[in-house]
Amino acid sequence: MMKKHLVSMLVSVILCLVLPFSLFSIEDEYYRKAALFRVFSQHIEWPKNSGLDDRSKPFVIGIIGKNPFGDILEKAYSQTDIKIKDKNVEIRYISKMQEIEGCHILFITKSVGKELVKIITITRKKPILTIGEKKGFAQKGVLFNLYISKGQIRFEINALTLRESGLIVDSQLLSVAKIVNMPGAKK
Can you tell me the mean pLDDT for 44-66? 92
Q: Looking at the predicted structure, is the pLDDT value of residue 104 above 90?
A: yes
Residue 50: pLDDT band (50, 70, 90) is: confident
Residue 2: pLDDT band (50, 70, 90) is: very low
Position 109: which residue type?
T
Residue 24: pLDDT band (50, 70, 90) is: very low
Handedness of CA 166, 171, 177, 183 (dihedral sign): positive
Per-residue pLDDT reduced to its tens digit, 144-171: 999 988 888 899 999 999 999 999 999 8
Q: Where are the domains of the chain?
A: 2-180
Domain range 2-180, CATH architecture: 3-Layer(aba) Sandwich (3.40)
Residue 113: pLDDT band (50, 70, 90) is: confident
Residue 18's pLDDT is what? 43
Tell me whether strands 44-45 and 59-64 are parallel, antiparallel or unpaired.
unpaired
Q: Looking at the predicted structure, is the pLDDT value of residue 186 above 50?
A: yes
Residue 27's pLDDT is what? 58
What is the C-alpha separation between 33 and 68, in angstroms, rounded?
Answer: 10
Of 139, 127, 138, nearest to 163 (Cα)? 127
Q: Looking at the predicted structure, is the pLDDT value of residue 99 above 50?
A: yes
Q: Looking at the predicted structure, is the pLDDT value of residue 6 above 80?
A: no
Tell me the CB-side half-sphere exposure of residue 25, using CA atoms within 13 A: 3
Can you tell me the mean pLDDT for 63-73? 95
Which has the minimum average pLDDT: 13-27, 43-57, 86-100? Answer: 13-27
Residue 185: pLDDT band (50, 70, 90) is: low
